[in-house]
Amino acid sequence: MEEIKLTGERRREKLLEWLKASSPLTGSELARRASVSRQVIVQDITLLKAKNHAILATSQGYVHVTPSDEPTARSIIACRHDRDRTEEELLLLVDYGVSVDDVIIEHPVYGELTALIRVGTRSEVYEFIEKITSTGASYLSELTDGVHLHTISAPEPGRIEKACEALRKAGFLIED
């Protein structure tokens, strides 16, 4: 792909085009395409979000969300496990056709902290785990002794119910 130098509004228009055509795309990839620094891309994405463009920053890169991407069923679940069982938990969910949108913890100082995950397939789970491992990053749940919430979504409620039952059997789900 031939690199082109774009400026201002035209660059942001191209960012939207690229994200709508193929996402997720990393900030580095967008920067390469636009012949600017990654920091310029971060600023452009912030400006696009301020103009109400539905762009999410995920562990795989930036994603443009359209209304047709929206699932019909969504739920927030409470889980607990140690670091070593994270992959098992995520794979269990995606194997039932459930996407894991985020992880949420209640930090004693900062309050509620949320991080987007956006994994819906086994390959996305493996990429997420590899990114955590290769960077030496911690999971948010490590700050709360493994206790965390997930927003999960699926095309139909039955998938969420089946996934929750499997989480319960595996000892992940925290219930009243």
Asked if residues 173 and 98 have their Cβ atoms less than 8 Å apart, the reply is: no
Q: Is 107 annotated as a binding residue?
A: no
Q: Is 64 annotated as a binding residue?
A: no
- As a 3-state breakdown, the chain gives helix, strand, coil percent values, each rounded to 5, of 50, 25, 25
63 φ/ψ angles, rounded to the nearest 5 degrees: -130, 135
163 vs 93: CA distance, rounded Å: 6
Q: Is 89 annotated as a binding residue?
A: yes
Helix (H, G, I), strand (E, B) or coil at 136: coil
> Which residues are registered as beta bridge partners of 63?
56
- Extract the annotated binding site: 81, 89, 148, 150
- Extract the annotated binding site for Ni(2+): 81, 89, 148, 150
